[in-house]
């Protein structure tokens, strides 16, 4: 408990003490009335049907978009020999294998492998199968090249883990049962490339602990060469028969110096490697069954070079490349085994593998980064002196340096040879260069989104010309007449197509200005490459992208961590553009220095670049305070538990000093099983912090979970910007329940340590799941519940006064979802309206986190069919609309589930009053209605997160799901009760009015005539 137990009043502007403001009686009444009205409205909408998110097939693309990515390319294999589709097969760091169209860069097919199934190597066999080796060389699969169907799969078991090598014979004779050779698990496996049948296996574990570095299959011979190292002090070569795996020859030579890195083949019988000190090159020559070693000091070859030498893994025959601190050096190995320095190039040059070119020539490409351009040169291995081809290509600055290059050649129509190069850039994008031009680009950095923020668009400038209005009015009318024709089934197929086109390409939705409904936004995405993208929600196009300089300045590996709203101008600083704060970390450990950057959300310019700052960042807290320029105050907590305030202005410091008493935060130490709460130390101690923006913190409370029985597996809090409309909840019989709404509620799930493994590793008796609701200001446990025989993984979402969590029930062997709702009992008596009016209620009594809350909870569990990857909940502008849970299933789809299905007050036989309230009868499982998949027939491959943003229109919530793919849509959980639907027919309305007017006139004339006749009678 806190050392300083002062009572603190709950005010709305406090950071962590935010109980929603107790509403005064009058507003409460209004709120109640609203709630009643709303429930009536909802009843009206939902009494007969359960609102599902549903879509007609022709509505696809109207308000949603789906983008498919693959991630940063690791390996690429071209397939261009045969006529037909020219394609390139790639594997990526997102564990994707894909076949891309070489002409346009589109995906022909794609497979996302499991998260643990990292692709080691890919190749093409027999000209028709893509071979992938994955899971540290234990799974070998063949995929049909044209359509991506898996043809066969082989599991390779080894005796110990080792690196994975794949060698596919290059000959294209299909009749020959050419085996594929794989080195993995300290064994060489031979597998038939036709059906994946296991041919033979040669275990090297019995040969001593040899570590094979290269597997070479000289063309035309029946022998596989394996070159390896034993205990890093002895070179070994093995010759193994292709047909039966018999060991033909084994030679070895000891090298006491030890080696560094990998052995690189130069030619069939020559290899090169660095010694352990990284100062001597060792040339290994195999001659007449003997190994000759030849050592050359690097300093003899390259003057003035020191340490950090690396042999680059590019395979260039007869040549190898060496990277030192000063640059890259190409070294030629002459026939006599002499090393000659050929050329020095800059350190940033990237080199491809050599490619067999015409008449036994070998060519390779190197690409050099210039200012706003890149220089691609292709050279022939035998003639290094001149460039075979040199092209300069303009390159966007925001793509950064070239990381990888793969080349391929083709024969032009005039029989000369051309080259195309596939390059992977620093921002993970993929480009194809051909004839000095970028043929296509793919922004595959978007496959690794880390964090998402949104931004408003600029306000539309006033001043619209009359002509434009007239034109648009005409267009509008025309569109609606077409639509009417469509509904009346009078439209011709051409017109139907035109209707669809109008609907999809309405210029309204992709405008770069703010709209009335708040549908048009910028999605700001931080990717693993350290690049920030802004996507328009209307059509998903990239508005701007910035490679963050603050994450590139040092040589260390910097990575973005978090994205926060920095400035959202509303009242005072309207001239300023909104901006976001990017927090990154330079280095791998938690105590590495952090990098901060503030980016303009409209233009993507880095406004402030606080490149590696002195302190580390473990946690970022957005404080609910703003300075006069509407910059949000942020606290960055470092590894030493010191708090650093941003922005570093005296004004911000003043605001913070004033409010620091009410700033609380918590940390979760999952390993140790401890939750800790912190506050800011008020007085400066003698050992003063380094600056006035740095504050000492004090530990207020700790909750220690017994490590022998509980292990923290999940923690969830409420979204800080969530709006709750009312604390009162109307239930049947005109009763009221008061939700316990606190922004300081933390949901913690723990399991018994035995059950923290995968499903099946623990018996039901030894696995216990315990869930807690903890108040993060006081550390008080508000509620604790035990699920016997259950285990993780736990996915949870906390909103308003409820938590929904998903876990695995081992007894039933099914997934379950539980709901936990927490209600405030201290206000339960405030039911008498009269009392409320006279003021005899306790609603305005101050709420303090230190007073013991009287809470009561309700809970219920249901079965849920699928595994879950992420859970989120819809959020709307005022919090009036009912909520839907958004469940990212194992099939990478997003399911919208009405919150009414997870209501703990559901019972088997609801009373009439409860039925009227809209309470559903209890079922043991949650329904999965296919029409309520918000992603409909799309998959968000590799789904990692679902973000929801309220639109300005109360009924609507914007949903963005990201993984390898991106998907955006907007959903209305209670249907769009506050606006007309997309397919509302204005023309029909006009027609009706017109008909009514005509009818009025006709009847008027008729009645006049009748009157006249009556008078004549």
Partner 1 sequence: MAAVRRSKPNPPTLLLLLVQLCFLSSSIATGNGSGYAINGRVKIPGFSDKGFGLPVKANNAKVILNGGQQVTFLKPDGYFSFHNVPAGTLLIEVDVIGYFFSPVRVDVSARNPGKVQAALTENRRGLNELVLEPLKDEQYYEIREPFNIMSIVKSPMGLMIGFMVVVVFLMPKLVENMDPEEIRKAQEEMRNQGVPSLANLMPRSG
Q: Is 733 exposed, middle or buried (0-12, 13-18, 19+ CB in 10 A)?
A: exposed
Measure the CA–CA gap between 957 and 973, rounded to whole angstroms: 8
Measured in residues, the chain has a length of 1017
Q: Which is nearer to partner 1, 522 or 810 (CB)?
A: 810
CB under 8 A: which stretch of 137-145, 168-176, 358-366, 472-480 binds partner 1?
A: 137-145
Give, as ranges, the residues between 53 and 82 that touch partner 1 (CB under 8 A).
Answer: 54-58, 60
Work out whether 994 is an interface residue with partner 1 (CB under 8 A): no
Provide, rounded to whole angstroms, the least separation between the CB of residue 587 and partner 1.
29
Which secondary structure element, helix H or strand E, spans residue 39, and what is its range? helix 25-46
Smallest separation (angstroms) from partner 1 to the CB of 478: 21
- Is 989 near partner 1 (CB under 8 A)? yes
State the nearest-atom distance from the C-beta of 595 to partner 1, in Å.
32
Pick the binder of partner 1 from 130, 363, 643, 810 (CB under 8 A): 810
Q: In angstroms, what CA-CA distances link 803 with 351, 529, 903?
A: 53, 34, 11
Helical H runs in 847-985? 912-917
Residues 937-956 that bind partner 1 (CB under 8 A): 937, 939
Which residue, 189 or 369, is less far from partner 1 as judged by CB?
A: 189
CA distance 117 to 119: 6
φ and ψ at 31, to 5 degrees? Answer: -60, -40
What is the Cα 570 distance to its own chain's centre?
Answer: 30
CA distance 295 to 429: 41
Q: In angstroms, rounded to a whole number, what is the distance separating the alpha carbons of residues 618 and 598?
A: 18
Site track for partner 1 across 884-923, x = CB under 8 A: ------xxxx------------------------------
In the complex, minimum distance from the CB of residue 908 to partner 1, in angstroms, rounded to a whole number: 20
**Is 988 strand, coil or helix?**
helix
Query: Whose Cβ is closer to partner 1: residue 584's or residue 973's?
Result: 973
Task: Locate the DSSP E strands across 206-309.
Answer: 210-216, 223-230, 234-241, 247-254, 259-267, 270-275, 280-287, 290-297
Contact between 97 and partner 1 (CB under 8 A)?
A: no
User: Is 146 a binder of partner 1 (CB under 8 A)?
Assistant: no
Provide the minimum distance between the beta carbon of 179 and partner 1 in the complex, in angstroms, as a whole number: 15
> Where does residue 753 rank: exposed (0-12), middle (13-18), buried (19+ CB within 10 A)?
middle
Q: At what angle do helices 493-504 and 466-487 cross, to 10 degrees?
A: 130
Q: Least distance to partner 1 from the beta carbon of 936, Å?
A: 4
| Cβ–Cβ under 8 Å, residues 524 and 563 | yes
- Is 837 a binding residue for partner 1 by CB under 8 A? The answer is no
Q: Which of residues 689-718 bind partner 1 (CB under 8 A)?
A: none
Tokens 């209004």 correspond to: 30
Nearer to partner 1, 185 or 578 (CB): 185
Which of 109, 665 has the CB closer to partner 1?
109
Answer yes or no whether residue 147 interacts with partner 1 by CB under 8 A: yes
Closer by beta carbon to partner 1, 218 or else 758: 758
Binding segment (CB under 8 A) for partner 1, from list 219-227, 441-449, 745-753, 990-998: 990-998
Q: Is residue 813 part of the contact set for partner 1 (CB under 8 A)? A: yes
481-500 residues near partner 1, rule: CB under 8 A? 487-489
Q: Which of 1003, 1005, 1009, 1012 binds partner 1 (CB under 8 A)?
A: 1003
Instruction: Pick the piece of the chain touching partner 1 (CB under 8 A) from 5-13, 206-214, 542-550, 987-995.
Output: 987-995
Question: With CB under 8 A, what is the number of residues at the site for partner 1?
Answer: 71
Strand partners, 280: 297
Q: Which of residues 758-787 bind partner 1 (CB under 8 A)?
A: 758-761
Identity of the residue, 376 or 934, whose beta carbon is nearer to partner 1 in the bound complex:
934
The one-character DSSP state at 575 is: T
Tell me which residues in 859-888 interact with partner 1 (CB under 8 A): 865-867, 869
Q: Which is nearer to partner 1, 1 or 477 (CB)?
A: 477
Q: Is 654 in the site for partner 1 (CB under 8 A)?
A: no
Please identify which residue in 221, 505, 845, 1007 interacts with partner 1, judged by CB under 8 A.
1007
Backbone angles phi, psi at 643, to 5 degrees: -105, 130
Does position 111 interact with partner 1 (CB under 8 A)? The reply is: yes
Q: Which of residues 429-488 bind partner 1 (CB under 8 A)?
A: 487-488
In angstroms, what is the minimal distance from the CB of 758 to partner 1? 5
DSSP 8-state secondary structure symbol assigned to residue 510:
G
Query: Counting contacts by CB under 8 A, is residue 244 touching partner 1?
Result: no
Output 148 or 753, the one with its CB closest to partner 1. 148
**Contact partners, residue 1007, CB within 8 Å, separation at least 6:** none
Regarding 83 and contact with partner 1 (CB under 8 A), the answer is no
3-state secondary structure 335-380: CCCCEEEEEEECCCCEECCCEECHHHCEEEEEEEECCCEEEEEEEE
Q: Does 639 bind partner 1 (CB under 8 A)?
A: no
For residue 476, whether the previous peptide bond is cis, meaning omega lies within 30 degrees of 0, is no
CB of 63 to partner 1, least distance (A): 14
Residue 955: φ, ψ to 5°? -75, -15
Position 126 contacts partner 1 (CB under 8 A): no
- Answer for which of 16, 39, 154, 184 binds partner 1 (CB under 8 A) is 154
Q: Is 411 exposed, middle or buried (0-12, 13-18, 19+ CB in 10 A)?
A: exposed
Minimum CB separation of residue 447 from partner 1 in Å reads: 17
Q: Which residues from 381-410 bind partner 1, rule CB under 8 A?
A: none
Task: For CA atoms 883, 884, 885, 886, give the dihedral sign.
Answer: negative
Regarding 850 and contact with partner 1 (CB under 8 A), the answer is no
Q: What distance separates the 2 farthest-apart alpha carbons in the chain?
A: 134
Q: Name the one residue in this structure whose structure tokens are 């302190």.
A: 615
Phi and psi torsions of 728, nearest 5°: -85, 145
Of positions 33, 837, 913, 996, contacts partner 1 by CB under 8 A: 996
> Which strands form 328-333's sheet, in the order they lie side by side?
310-311, 319-323, 328-333, 339-345
Task: Find the binding residues for partner 1 in span 323-382 (CB under 8 A).
Answer: none
Least separation in angstroms between residue 148's CB and partner 1 is 6
Applying CB under 8 A, does 276 fall inside the site for partner 1?
no
Distances (CA, A) of 217 to 160, 357, 533, 719, 997: 24, 20, 45, 58, 89
With contact defined as beta carbons under 8 Å apart, do 790 and 816 qualify? yes
48 interacts with partner 1 by CB under 8 A? no
CA distances from 917 to 45, 166, 568 (A): 12, 64, 39
- Enter the DSSP assignment of 34: H
- Binding residue for partner 1 (CB under 8 A) from 658, 682, 814, 1009? 814
- Minimum gap (Å) between residue 735 Cβ and partner 1: 35
> Per CB under 8 A, does 997 bind partner 1?
no
Which C-beta is closer to partner 1: that of 729 or that of 975? Answer: 975
β-pair type (187-192, 179-184): antiparallel
Question: E-strand spans in 531-600?
Answer: 531-536, 542-547, 558-567, 579-586, 594-600
Among 138, 697, 818, 849, binds partner 1 (CB under 8 A): 138
Closer to partner 1 by Cβ: residue 39 or 138: 138
- Restricting to residues 169-208, which ones interact with partner 1 according to CB under 8 A? 185, 196-198
Interface with partner 1 (CB under 8 A), residue from 45, 85, 108, 152: 152
Nearer to partner 1, 853 or 963 (CB): 963
Q: Residue 105 interacts with partner 1 (CB under 8 A)?
A: no
- Closest to 900 in 3D by CA, of 51, 41, 55: 51
């Amino acid at each position: 408990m806190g050392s300083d137990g002062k009572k603190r009043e709950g005010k709305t502007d406090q950071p962590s003490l935010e109980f929603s403001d107790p509403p005064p009686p009058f507003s409460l009444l209004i709120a109640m009335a609203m709630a009643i009205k709303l429930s009536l409205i909802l009843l009206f909408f939902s009494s007969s049907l359960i609102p599902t998110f549903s879509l007609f097939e022709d509505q696809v693309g109207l308000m949603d978009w789906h983008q498919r990515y693959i991630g940063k390319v690791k390996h690429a294999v071209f397939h261009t020999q045969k006529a037909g589709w020219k394609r390139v097969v790639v594997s990526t760091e997102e564990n994707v294998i894909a076949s891309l169209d070489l002409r346009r860069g589109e995906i022909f097919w794609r497979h996302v492998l499991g998260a643990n199934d990292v692709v080691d190597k890919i190749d093409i066999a027999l000209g028709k199968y893509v071979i992938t080796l994955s899971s540290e060389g234990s799974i070998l699969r063949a995929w049909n090249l044209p359509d991506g169907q898996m043809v066969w799969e082989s599991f390779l078991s080894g005796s110990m883990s080792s690196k994975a090598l794949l060698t596919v014979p290059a000959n294209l004779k299909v009749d020959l049962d050419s085996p594929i050779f794989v080195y993995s698990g300290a064994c060489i496996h031979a597998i038939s490339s036709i059906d994946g049948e296991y041919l033979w296996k040669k275990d090297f574990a019995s040969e001593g602990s040899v570590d094979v570095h290269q597997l070479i299959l000289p063309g035309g011979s029946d022998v596989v060469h394996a070159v390896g190292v034993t205990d890093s002090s002895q070179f070994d070569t093995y010759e193994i028969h292709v047909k039966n795996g018999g060991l033909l020859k084994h030679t070895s030579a000891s090298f006491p110096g030890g080696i560094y890195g990998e052995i690189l083949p130069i030619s069939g019988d020559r290899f090169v490697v660095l010694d352990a000190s990284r100062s001597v090159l060792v040339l290994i020559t195999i001659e007449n069954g003997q190994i000759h070693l030849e050592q050359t000091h690097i300093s003899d070859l390259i003057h003035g070079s020191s340490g950090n030498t690396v042999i680059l893994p590019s395979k260039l025959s007869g040549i190898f490349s060496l990277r030192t601190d000063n640059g890259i050096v190409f070294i030629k190995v002459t026939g006599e085994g002499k090393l000659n320095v050929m050329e020095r190039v800059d350190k940033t040059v990237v080199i491809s593998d050599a490619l067999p070119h015409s008449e036994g020539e070998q060519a390779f490409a190197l690409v050099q980064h210039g200012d706003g351009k890149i220089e691609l040169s292709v050279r022939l291995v035998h003639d290094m002196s001149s460039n075979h081809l040199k092209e300069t290509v303009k390159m966007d600055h925001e793509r950064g340096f070239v990381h990888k290059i793969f080349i391929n050649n083709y024969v032009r129509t005039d029989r000369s040879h051309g080259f195309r190069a596939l390059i992977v850039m620093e921002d993970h994008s993929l480009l194809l260069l051909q004839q000095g031009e970028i043929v296509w680009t793919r922004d595959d950095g978007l496959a690794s989104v880390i964090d998402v923020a949104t931004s408003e668009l600029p306000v539309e400038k006033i001043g619209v010309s009359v002509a434009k209005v007239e034109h648009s009015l005409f267009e509008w009318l025309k569109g609606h007449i077409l639509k009417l024709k469509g509904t009346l089934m009078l439209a011709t197929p051409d017109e139907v197509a035109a209707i669809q086109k109008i609907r999809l390409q309405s210029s309204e939705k992709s405008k770069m200005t703010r709209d009335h409904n708040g549908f048009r936004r910028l999605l700001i995405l931080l990717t693993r490459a350290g690049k920030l993208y802004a996507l328009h929600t209307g059509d998903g196009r990239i508005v701007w992208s910035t490679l963050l300089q603050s994450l590139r300045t040092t040589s260390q590996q910097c990575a973005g961590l978090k994205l926060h709203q920095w400035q959202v101008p509303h009242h005072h600083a309207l001239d300023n553009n909104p901006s976001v704060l990017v927090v990154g970390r330079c280095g791998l450990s938690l105590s590495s220095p952090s990098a901060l950057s503030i980016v303009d959300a409209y233009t993507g310019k880095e406004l402030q670049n606080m490149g590696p700052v002195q302190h580390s960042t473990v946690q970022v807290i957005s404080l609910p305070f703003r300075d006069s320029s509407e910059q949000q105050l942020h606290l960055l907590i470092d590894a030493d538990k010191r708090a650093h305030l941003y922005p570093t202005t005296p004004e911000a410091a003043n605001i913070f000093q004033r409010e620091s008493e009410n700033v609380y935060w918590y940390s979760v130490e999952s390993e140790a099983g401890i939750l800790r709460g912190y506050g800011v130390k008020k007085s400066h101690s003698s050992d003063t912090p380094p600056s006035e923006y740095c504050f000492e913190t004090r530990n207020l409370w700790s909750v220690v979970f017994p490590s022998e029985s509980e292990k923290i597996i999940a923690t969830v809090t409420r979204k800080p910007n969530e709006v709750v409309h009312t604390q009162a909840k109307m239930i049947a019989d005109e009763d009221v329940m008061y939700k316990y709404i606190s922004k300081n509620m933390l949901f913690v799930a723990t399991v018994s340590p035995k059950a923290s493994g995968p499903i099946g590793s623990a018996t039901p008796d030894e696995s216990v799941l315990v869930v807690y609701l903890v108040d993060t200001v006081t550390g008080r446990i508000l509620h604790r519940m035990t699920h016997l025989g259950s285990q993780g993984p736990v996915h949870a979402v906390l909103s308003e006064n409820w938590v929904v969590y998903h876990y695995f029930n081992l007894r039933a062997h099914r997934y379950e979802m539980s709901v936990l709702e927490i209600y405030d009992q201290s206000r339960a008596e405030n039911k008498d309206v009269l009392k409320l009016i006279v003021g005899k209620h306790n609603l305005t009594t101050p709420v303090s986190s230190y007073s013991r809350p009287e809470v009561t909870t309700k809970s219920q569990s249901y079965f849920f069919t699928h595994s879950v990857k992420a859970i989120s909940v819809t959020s709307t502008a005022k919090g009036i609309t009912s909520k839907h849970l958004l469940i990212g299933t194992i099939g990478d789809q997003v399911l919208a589930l009405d919150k009414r299905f997870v209501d703990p007050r559901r019972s088997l036989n609801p009373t009439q009053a409860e039925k009227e309230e809209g309470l559903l009868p209890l079922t043991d499982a949650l329904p999965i209605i296919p029409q309520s998949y918000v992603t409909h027939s799309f998959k968000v491959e590799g789904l990692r997160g679902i973000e929801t943003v309220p639109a300005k229109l109360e009924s609507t919530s914007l949903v963005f799901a990201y993984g390898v793919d991106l998907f955006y849509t907007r959903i209305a959980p209670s249907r769009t009760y506050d606006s007309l639907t997309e397919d509302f027919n204005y023309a029909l309305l006009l027609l009706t009015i017109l008909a009514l007017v005509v009818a009025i006139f006709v009847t008027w004339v008729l009645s006049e005539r009748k009157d006249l006749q009556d008078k004549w009678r």
